[in-house]
Chain A
């Protein structure tokens, strides 16, 4: 029998969990410190499944590889070149969003799509085609990617873009790392209209009013980011605030991009429960009612979680599920109402501590999460019976023509997943041409049956 992985690699056995802390895995970690040290990996790997990962911040099991090898690209993080004429940055996959913002925000440039936490690698952003609150205007991360250099299962290095190896390009955006290892990316930066966000809060009660508010703020010139915050703990019907933001040209000190220490949130976890969250929601509502406009610096605005990067600790040992789904624009009023009614009807047993709705458009990759419509997310602490409750929620989402977001997921069934993503067959065909021996896999891929075993 051949050894699953080679002796010469400096591997460490590590136990890791997803950000939601409810999926765990033990695997061998390989963390090369330069790009050269990753190139031979596909040939060196005989049989064990291989998975490239960034900083491991996906919520479920996307960055876990039980019994296999996890190749972390977190130190393969050199910025390679910048073309000031086209504002195009070429960088290795481990460069983080924070790195890019730190270097380019002071020069008036930004990544158009940004995750809520800034310490996320560009490779990870591409692998999930991440989106932000301005998706309805600028699209997701994939739209700003001009090309990617991939390390394929046969050990070859291939450039893919909208002109070359087009199928590989579209299969890799949102492809959860299953097509190969992203080595380098070329991303187009956008001009930054300003360094300060001016926010307006508009109250709503009920889904019809929510959609009206969203349409209103979309029509207002200057609005770039919008999100609806919902209180699903204190009210009988879905109500909250639509927060619309504009970037203003008030300069900020470059020091806002400095390193921050995470507060010891684990200490207050015992006090984080239904009652404290109810109180928090009331206070949050009151603040937005009494103060409908506010200003925030760019970092706090784009990366609200940077102040609390370890907020997952609040949910304690059992963890939490951030259930995020996307619903088509047609019939959204009905489908959103059905989902919110379902969540509200079970709020005694499965309270959603946090809930938000965003407007999104179609994503760039074959398996990109966003479709033209609305994305809704709910944070549920893990408790007895939650899995069955969420399986029911999946059915409502599927019936409405929607899907769940894999970056946040560690629990959807393979059967449900394949009904959510109609392009999965096409993606699997492309994937198997680039990885015929099924080298790349993850706990998520095995759970969702992403990798065709007979391929």
Chain B
């Protein structure tokens, strides 16, 4: 059966791979992202590679809250319903700069949390009413514990994870699936070449795994899988030790 899919932040390297792995022939897709020029290229590519029946594009700015309702409703109208929403917006941001700049703090929190929470809330209402659907967010293992190197990004992802937990709890009776993907290091420009990275997974592998999880049930997914155990350890380090560590 043809799926009706809304992808938020569709121009990111990982989201592009999610799209290529998730979208099949006959599917109806709405792509949304801030960079509309790049979005047009991504859409053309997706059409040619997958043979999707419909690919539409819309500008999506996470901090422009007033437009979010209209975006989701437009997508619902164009696609004739909404089966899957995947949100992959967000950026690491500059933690050092954020110490001095309120605008940077707002950017990081909006793109990683607030702008997604607003948009998904609207989609959640639609799916609750229709009694089916799947909401998925690309979050990060950084949300599992705040660290000095990226706690703004991490706290926004934490907020996102909490939001998704609650949403999952609310929508379970309605038969709507809510999936949190906690990504470890993925070999994109966000982390490539930075020190302290290890065992990076390719965006292709990440995209394939996320698409698989969206197709068949999961609540919280760590990718690559071993991050579940790394974070289990990190979460359990007592705070009086953790606060002295350089992480």
List the interface of chain A (C-beta within 8 A of B).
10-12, 31, 33-36, 75, 78-82, 89, 99, 102-103, 259
Tell me if A78 and B42 are in contact (CB < 8 A). Answer: yes
Distance in angstroms from A445 CB to nearest chain B CB is 26
Q: Which of B13, B37, B44, B48 is within 8 Å of A33, CB to CB?
A: B13
Residues in A with CB closer than 8 Å to B41 are 34-35, 78, 80
Does B26 count as interface, using CB distance less than 8 angstroms? Answer: no
Contact A102 B193 (CB under 8 A): no
A12-B42 in contact (CB<8A)? no
Cβ of B96 within 8 Å of any chain A Cβ, yes or no, is no
Known pairs A33-B13, A34-B38, A36-B38; A82 contacts B48 (CB<8 A): yes
B145-196 CB contacts (< 8 Å) to partner A: 188-189, 192-193
| Chain A residues, Cβ within 8 Å of B13 | 33, 75
Q: Are B44 and A78 in contact (CB under 8 A)?
A: yes
- CB neighbours (8 Å) of B42 from chain A are 78
A10, A33, A79, A259: the one contacting B45 at CB < 8 Å is: A79
Bound together, the chains give a CA A103 to CA B44 distance in angstroms of 13
14 further contact pairs, Cβ within 8 A, besides A10-B189, A103-B51: A10-B193, A11-B193, A12-B192, A31-B192, A33-B13, A33-B188, A34-B11, A35-B41, A36-B37, A75-B13, A78-B41, A79-B44, A82-B48, A102-B49
CB distance from B45 to the nearest CB of A (A): 4
Q: Is the interface of B mostly helix, strand, loop or mixed?
A: helix
CA distance A79 to B38 in the complex (A): 12
Which residues from chain B contact A102 at a C-beta distance below 8 Å? 49
Which of B's residues lie within 8 Å of A, judged by CB?
11, 13, 37-38, 41-42, 44-45, 48-49, 51, 188-189, 192-193, 208
- For A31, A78, A89, which residue has the most chain B Cβ atoms within 10 angstroms? A78
Q: Determine the residue in chain A with the shortest Cβ distance to B21.
A: A259
Q: Which residue of A lies closest to B38 (CB)?
A: A34
Q: How far is the CA of A103 from the CA of B23 in the complex (A)?
A: 13
Partner of A10, one of B37, B49, B192: B192
Residue of B nearest to A99 (CB): B49
Chain B residue at minimum C-beta to C-beta distance from A104: B48
Q: Shortest distance in angstroms between B204's beta carbon and chain A's nearest beta carbon?
A: 8
Question: Of A10, A11, A89, which is in contact with the most chain B CB atoms at under 10 Å from its CB?
Answer: A10
Question: Which residues of the other chain, B, contact A11 by a CB distance below 8 angstroms?
Answer: 193
* Chain B residue nearest to A81 in the complex (CB): B44
A-B contact pairs, 6 of them (CB 8 A): A33-B13, A34-B41, A36-B38, A78-B42, A82-B48, A89-B48
In the assembled complex, how far is the CB of residue B28 from the closest CB belonging to chain A, in whole angstroms? 19
Could you tell me the distance in whole angstroms from the C-beta of B77 to the nearest C-beta in chain A?
A: 27
**A420 CB to closest chain B CB, in angstroms?**
39
**Chain B residues near A82 (CB-CB < 8 A):** 48
The answer on a CB contact under 8 Å between B193 and A12 is yes
Q: Across the interface, which residues of A come within 8 angstroms of B45, CB to CB?
A: 78-80
Q: Complex: how many Å from CA A11 to CA B42?
A: 25
CB neighbours (8 Å) of B193 from chain A are 10-12
Q: Which A residues are in CB contact (< 8 Å) with B11?
A: 34
Separation of A36 and B36 alpha carbons in the complex (Å): 13
* Shortest distance from the beta carbon of B205 to any chain A beta carbon, whole Å: 9
**A35 to B42, alpha carbons, bound, how many Å?**
12
Chain A nearest Cβ from B109, distance in angstroms: 24
Tell me the bound Cα distance from A242 to B184 in angstroms. Answer: 51
What's the least CB distance linking A50 to chain B, in Å?
A: 18
Which residues of B have CB within 8 Å of A103? 48-49, 51
**B189 engages A33 (CB within 8 Å):** yes
Cα–Cα distance between A33 and B191 once the two chains are bound (Å): 13
Smallest CB-CB separation from A79: which chain B residue? B48
Q: Is the CB of A79 within 8 A of B192?
A: no
Least CB separation from B44: chain A residue: A80
* A34: chain B residues within 8 A (beta carbon): 11, 38, 41
A191 vs B208: C-alpha distance when bound (angstroms): 30
Closest A-B pairs by Cβ, 3 of them: A12-B193, A78-B45, A79-B48
- Closest chain-A Cβ to B7's Cβ sits at a distance in Å of 16
CA distance A99 to B49 in the complex (A): 8
Which residues on the A side are within 8 Å of B188 (C-beta)?
Answer: 33
Interface centre among B37, B192, B193 (most CB of A within 10 A): B193
Instruction: List, in ascending order, chain B residues with CB within 8 A of A80's CB.
Output: 41, 44-45
A75 to B41 Cα, complex, angstroms: 13
Query: Which of B42, B45, B192 is most buried by chain A, counting CB atoms within 10 A of its CB?
Result: B45
Interface centre among A33, A102, A259 (most CB of B within 10 A): A33
A308 to B237, CA, bound (A): 45
Contact A79–B49 (Cβ < 8 Å): yes
CA distance A82 to B193 in the complex (A): 35
Chain B residues near A79 (CB-CB < 8 A): 44-45, 48-49
- Inter-chain CA distance A280–B193, complex, in Å, is 43
Q: How far is the CB of B18 from chain A (nearest CB, A)?
A: 15
Min distance, Cβ B185 to any Cβ of chain A, angstroms: 14
Cβ of B208 to closest chain A Cβ, rounded Å? 8
Determine how close the nearest CB of chain A comes to the CB of B60; give it in whole angstroms.
Answer: 17
